[in-house]
Structure 1
Amino acid sequence: MDPALTDQIIRMAWEDRTSFEEIEKRTGLAEAEVIKVMRRNLKPPSFRLWRKRVSGRVTKHRKLMKARMGR
């Protein structure tokens, strides 16, 4: 994978407002593939911190955001 694309994916994955759906639209990588990129390119403590941060985060998952707004 191109290092510039890897950097872009990592940057978007860390951003709170960029959903996994938006990352997939821009890069073609699904959530599981983004997780693999993050696992390969971050140090283990950083990866664990990122996973804890994005797990269940409404803004990272469009479906959760829509469900929450529909209340």
Structure 2
Amino acid sequence: MKQNFKNLSQADIDRIIEMAWEDRTPFEAIEYQFKLKEQDVIRLMRRELKPSSWRLWRERAHQVSIKHQKKREQGVNRFKCSLQRQITLNKISKR
């Protein structure tokens, strides 16, 4: 399914890019918050990043084994730190 990125705000796109760069944030977390599948995130990153940055990100995301929830250790069943405040969809709690 091709995702239309026009309904995403610039703040949403920035947050998706930030989450995609994080090694410990699985694609399932992005899908949960923004309804974007892994392929949609890849398309978004290709569109938004410079070509050299996109190549670095793809290599890094491909090498990180915890970028997919199924590849994580059995004991880890969350997509955020247990000490982090509750995140409600895309609204991050103020500190």
Please tell me the TM-score bracket, short chain as reference. Answer: 0.7 to 0.9
Structure number with bigger Rg: 2
Code of the aligned partner of 1:4: A
Query: Of Structure 1 and Structure 2, which has the larger fraction of its residues in helix?
Result: 1
Deviating above 2 A after TM superposition, structure 1's stretches of 4 or more consecutive aligned residues are none
Deviations 1:26-69 (A, max 9, x none): 11000000001100000000000000001142210011114xx5
CA RMSD of aligned residues (A): 1.5
TM-score, length of structure 2 as denominator length: 0.67
Segments of 5+ residues of structure 1 without an aligned counterpart are none
Segments of 5+ residues of structure 2 without an aligned counterpart are 1-7, 76-95
Query: Of Structure 1 and Structure 2, which has the larger fraction of its residues in strand?
Result: 2
* Length, aligned pairs only: 68
Hey, what does 1:19 align to over in structure 2?
26
Identity, % of aligned pairs?
Answer: 51
